[in-house]
Amino acid sequence: MAQTNGTTNGHAGFYIPPKDAFIPLIIDGKDIKASSTDRHFRLPDDHDPTTPPPSTFQGTDKDLTLQAVESAQKAFPAWSATPPPQRRALLNALAQKIRENERPIRAMIKEEIHCNDFWTMIQYLGGLSAIEETAAAISSETMNGQIPYSIVPGAYPLVFNEPLGVILGIAPWNAPLILSLRAICAPLATGNTVILKGSEFSPRTHYFVANLVREVGFPPGVCNFLLHRPQDAVETFETIISHPAVKKANFTGSTGVGRAIAQGAAKYLKPVLLELGGKNITIVLDDANIDLAARESLDAATVNNGQVCMSTDTVLVHRSVAESFSAALHNALKATPHPELHVISSKGRQNLDKLLKEAESHGAKITQASPASSSGNLHPATLIENLPSHSIYHTTESFGPLLNIRVVDTEDEIVDLFHESGYGLSGSVFSKNHLRAINLAKRLDSGAIHINAGSVHDEGNFPHGGVGSSGYGRFGGCWGLREFTKTKTVMIYPDQQH
């Protein structure tokens, strides 16, 4: 058993962890910091030296992980019986605390993941949407049961929607406020208890969310919080998913890790909700507004430095407008206010450099918004043209500010290339003929298609998720609530006495 010390109430009141704070776990309402430093962890300082170093945090071990699961298990009976209006009131209190503290929350996110002010605004507004739309749907028709007909005369079958139990929510770093809230809000709203597993790249923001859940009045054990060292990922997941009390996991992240999670959960017949990577494509038809398409495509490729699951990787442009679109895109690139963009790690930058080196080896034309930086994790926004069809870029998620332009001749060719990578999360179609765009969108196997706008957009009342290598299941709105409930039929038979 790990030796720990805990502060019963954690940080009372509203608390933003400073950049030099030690980030603890939260188990059964208590901050947990082990007396041993064996699992204390901080990411290596391989980032831009002008930015602050990442926080040190407490990594979990098997004993602490089991404590978190058992705490959530113990809290489940009372929480699942809590009236929906009370659960809604707590979620609304959570939203109100965030609304009252916009500036320090956004400053923390900017400092931790090195994003710009626009992305922190998206985090703030999207986080509020995730909470408030979920709270609004708690007592909606989505959660109501049904009384279907029965062939038994005088019988009444009652169908109930019930919470599952303990839910594991695994949130990534790239949209740390939105995605941590999304991982826990729907499970909590439907009466489940949760374990939020945060990212080593954003421990401050993820701890902030779990701590705020505690401080607004959610009972101890209803939301536990874990972090782990990268080398302990398999042990932590296996310990959680193998426990009988844990009924489902949700994960947002890479396709490779998502596959491992699905395989690990399948051993125990546990369902998972996976929102994975995307090789998102924008389509520019011959009747498109070219300037609009160019601006939106570049914005969708570079928002949060290209580190969004919905970011545009490739544009398929009709040959008749390819020259004018390329010119408009180059003009937009020259005008970008942030020619160098910060990627999260040296590994991320190395992946981008590898893709570009391979593209250049095939004779592709590379245009960058500024000369590539020789140090740190800065990478310029980059356009790729004349890339041959056998390049690995076409099937590899870049997760950075790269944008490839491919020229096409027919809509059938567009459909084939759209499905080439096996991903299917988001995409865009630009055309002045909305009916034509809708008909094309219906042919594209993707979780979302945006017409005359970039591929990066989501709202708390929308279903969000992908197909194929982009995962399965849906966050958001009534669809997200249903992910964390099970149906039970209770059959009432007529009195058989005569």
pLDDT the model gives residue 54: 73
Q: Which domain holds residue 424?
A: 280-461
Series of mean pLDDT values for 10-residue runs along the chain (498 residues)? 50 81 97 91 64 82 98 99 96 97 97 94 98 92 90 96 98 97 98 98 97 98 98 98 99 97 98 97 98 98 95 98 98 83 87 94 92 75 94 94 97 98 98 98 98 97 97 97 97 80
How far apart are alpha carbons 330 and 350 in whole angstroms?
Answer: 25
pTM value surpassing 0.85? yes
Pair 199, 305 in one domain: no
Cβ–Cβ < 8 Å for 461, 133: yes
Cβ–Cβ < 8 Å for 338, 116: yes
**How many angstroms from the chain centroid is the CA of residue 254?**
10
pLDDT the model gives residue 8: 44
- Classify residue 79: in a domain, yes or no: yes
Whether 309 is catalytic is: yes
How many other CB atoms are there within 10 angstroms of residue 157's CB atom? 15
- Classify residue 497: in a domain, yes or no: no
Greatest alpha-carbon pair distance for the chain in Å reads 91
Six-digit token string for 16 = 């933003």
Cβ–Cβ < 8 Å for 365, 385: yes
Pair 225, 292 in one domain: no
pLDDT the model gives residue 7: 46
Number of structural domains in the chain? 2
Pair 351, 229 in one domain: no
How far apart are alpha carbons 82 and 78 in whole angstroms?
Answer: 6
Q: What value, to the nearest 5°, has the Cα angle with vertex 35 and ends 30 and 40?
A: 90
Pair 204, 302 in one domain: no
H/E stretch holding 284: strand 280-284
Catalytic one among 132, 133, 200, 275? 275
Pair 268, 400 in one domain: no
Pair 421, 293 in one domain: yes
Pair 183, 38 in one domain: yes
pLDDT the model gives residue 378: 85
Q: Report pLDDT digits (tens) over 470-490.
A: 999 999 999 999 999 999 999
379 phi-psi bin (left φ>0, alpha ψ -120 to 50, beta other): beta
b/e per residue 55-91 (b: at least 16 CB within 10 A): bbbbbbbeebbbbbbbbbbbbbeebbeeeeeebbebb
Residue 410 CB contacts under 8 Å (≥ 6 apart), including other chains:
none
**DSSP 3-state of 258:** helix
H/E stretch holding 318: strand 312-318
Measured CA to CA in angstroms, residue 250 lies from 13, 216, 296, 312 at distances of: 29, 24, 30, 24
Of 216, 197, 193, 221, nearest in space to 207 by CA: 197
Cβ–Cβ < 8 Å for 481, 137: yes
- Classify residue 194: in a domain, yes or no: yes
Pair 154, 15 in one domain: yes
Q: What value, to the nearest 5°, has the Cα angle with vertex 344 and ends 112 and 377?
A: 115
